[in-house]
Structure 1
Amino acid sequence: MASKSNGPALVAGNSYYLPAMSNAGLFKGYVIDPGSVGYADVGRDDIHTVLITHGHNDHFRRAREFRERGARVIASKEDALLVRNPEVNVRGLFSWARPPKEMITPYFQGDACEVDLYIEDWLDSSIRAIYLPGHTLGEYGFITEDGVLYSADSLYSKELWGKYKLPYSIDPDLCRESIRKIKTLDFDYLVPGHGDPLSREDALKAADFHLSQLDFVDEVVLELLREPVSTESLVTKFCYELDLYKSLNNYWLTLVMLKGHLSSLNHQGRVAYKLENYCMFWFKSK
């Protein structure tokens, strides 16, 4: 995938970011999430470490370029398998069967890369890791000594919600926990995985909006389940309700998102299910 970056932009101190389809971070000898930008885009040859926030290819697709030049690659224990073998993501989306190639989202395709060290076993006092699961099970963010938080896909701005309407995650409850954690962190600027950097004040507003949108999705689902609805019909009704973009990729991503919200609502006792004639039906609990 071609780079969309015009070079590093200063955030604060030694903390930079490279604007791209998926933003990359740059701090001293670290590059964070080189998914849409490569070695040539960074413009320096002192990169000793690649930090990967999570195992989606738009965040690590070009990590191998840096590793081939001597940098070590660090990812979480949970997501390292996805970095080493992107096929796991592809198959997981299709219930572990091999999907037709037309159904594979490009966000889960890319170059596999070996992981040299786990985030959990790494330590640097100038940049620390913050566990922020929900988008994946092993997502982390990184805060530099300059007060810059690289939050990856743990937090979506209002603008991003407006553009995509349903940004991807797998566990809304974990997402909520991570967003609430972000609100307690000591940072001055937040660099998201997608979109422009935010001041702390704007990041806190984005956090509240993200939380409200997760609640909104729950309410839409509950409204659609006043009568029993099959999983497939629920996807259709939900997509029409939010006027989501019609594509194979979006269908699969929406299906995963909906299953996450259905599971959450079921654990809360607000949604129940039944299997009838080999078809799963969901309905609002009485």
Structure 2
Amino acid sequence: MKLINIKGDTYYIKGGTNTGIVKLDNSSALVIDPGLGGMRPRKIMELLENNHMDVKYIINTHEHEDHYEGCNQIKQSNKGIHILSSKEAKKFIDDSCKFADYILGGKSNRFLIPKVCKEKDNLIEVDTIVNEGEIVLNNKKIEIIKLTGHSEGSIGILTEDKVLFVGDLFVGANILSKFELLLMYDVKSYFESINKIKNIDFDYMILGHGKEIYSKKESELLIESHINAINKYITQVKELLKLPVTVDNILKSIINNNNLSCDYKEYYFFRSSILSIISYLCDLNLVDYSIEKGEMLYYSKKA
């Protein structure tokens, strides 16, 4: 594990989930997305200690456990550490079982419940809600940018060094080639967040998942590839809606037609994204529904 300098006082630590580090003054630091629990939070603390940094704040870009699960282990070293997130993300971080219930559409089960939910001694509580705009931590300015779409509570963090942490709004090019069907809470908001990124003044962009550091110029191709991926699946869903069809049959066709592999959790992530696409089309007044013989059927509205 290495502390990699991006620019000025902004660093990151590579991992399954990348962790941002901002040096706030001579000795204190902000951690962005500590990642999963276990060995990683302990190693992060050791690494920062070796670099003479004490964690004062943790900001979570959103409410998925692979980004926030390690919060409590870090806070155990110093109860004065403040954990921050958006208002929407706080609901899920404070109640770690809630997201699994949301994805399943009812009470979750042992196949989907995250480890952080099972470990009652690892309860996490967000101390401070952050809204879009500028905040100051130990005299260091941090800009919070609302980037909903992937999740309800997603935010981006822009440092004084013009380094932008975007959470899971984007994934690395190698990951996108394998998992084109992105997890989307709100398709319309996803597009709006992508367009917002284009107008932000940043020098480097760090993703929640991916090995590359993207310059502003390099991010253009990544942004375009995400737009294409989303539109690809919108087009496929619209094609399947030409005849009345259930959500699960749409999902079945999407998985088979695109050779997507998935486990239990990923299946419900895919299903959630399909429902988000259908809702997006419903809001555009392009889709209607009927209930026939106990089945909910969606279909394209005739022009």
TM-score by length of 2: 0.87
- State the 1:104 CA deviation: 4.1
Equivalence for 2:216? 200
Equivalence for 2:158? 143
Contact 2:97 2:113 in 1 (8 A): no
- State the 1:172 CA deviation: 1.1
Gaps of 5+ in 1: 1-5
Name the CA distance, whole Å, in 1 between partners of 2:43 and 2:205: 25
Name the CA distance, whole Å, in 1 between partners of 2:97 and 2:116: 12
Aligned-pair Cα RMSD in Å: 1.9
Q: Choose from 47, 57, 60 the match for 2:55.
A: 47
Contact 1:56 1:107 in 2 (8 A): no
- Change in Cα spacing, 1:109 to 1:136, as seen in structure 2 (3 Å) is farther
- Change in Cα spacing, 1:207 to 1:104, as seen in structure 2 (3 Å) is same
Q: Choose from 238, 249, 256 the match for 2:265.
A: 249
Alpha-carbon deviations, 1:187-244, whole Å to 9, x = none? 0000000002211111122112211211111101011122111111111111111111
Contact 1:190 1:200 in 2 (8 A): yes
Q: Choose from 25, 48, 68 the match for 2:76.
A: 68
Contact 1:21 1:194 in 2 (8 A): yes
Name the CA distance, whole Å, in 2 between partners of 1:167 and 1:176: 12
Equivalence for 1:7? 2
Q: State the identity as a percent.
A: 25
Equivalence for 1:153? 168
- Change in Cα spacing, 1:151 to 1:8, as seen in structure 2 (3 Å) is same
Q: Please list, as runs of the form range in 1=range in 2, the aligned pairs for 1:88-237 lying within 5 A after superposition.
A: 88-99=98-109, 101-104=110-113, 111-120=122-131, 123-124=135-136, 126-195=141-210, 196-237=212-253
Name the CA distance, whole Å, in 1 between partners of 2:118 and 2:183: 16
Q: Choose from 41, 61, 71 the match for 1:38.
A: 41
2:289 alignment partner, SS class: strand
Amino acid of the residue matched to residue 113 of structure 1?
I
Amino acid of the residue matched to residue 135 of structure 2?
L
- State the 1:251 CA deviation: 1.3
Alpha-carbon deviations, 1:140-181, whole Å to 9, x = none? 110111110000011234322102121212111111000100
Amino acid of the residue matched to residue 116 of structure 1?
D
Amino acid of the residue matched to residue 185 of structure 1?
I
- State the 1:98 CA deviation: 2.9
Gaps of 5+ in 2: 24-28
- State the 1:107 CA deviation: 9.6
Name the CA distance, whole Å, in 2 between partners of 1:127 and 1:192: 17
2:161 alignment partner, SS class: coil
- State the 1:25 CA deviation: 0.2
Amino acid of the residue matched to residue 84 of structure 1?
D
Contact 1:25 1:33 in 2 (8 A): yes
Contact 2:182 2:230 in 1 (8 A): no
Name the CA distance, whole Å, in 2 between partners of 1:108 and 1:137: 20
Equivalence for 1:278? 294
Alpha-carbon deviations, 1:22-63, whole Å to 9, x = none? 111000110000014314324124110001111110001101
1:123 alignment partner, SS class: strand
Greater mean deviation of Cα atoms: 241-250 or 182-191? 241-250
Alpha-carbon deviations, 1:42-94, whole Å to 9, x = none? 41241100011111100011011222222110111111021111100111112
Amino acid of the residue matched to residue 273 of structure 2?
M
- State the 1:270 CA deviation: 2.0
Greater mean deviation of Cα atoms: 244-253 or 142-151? 244-253
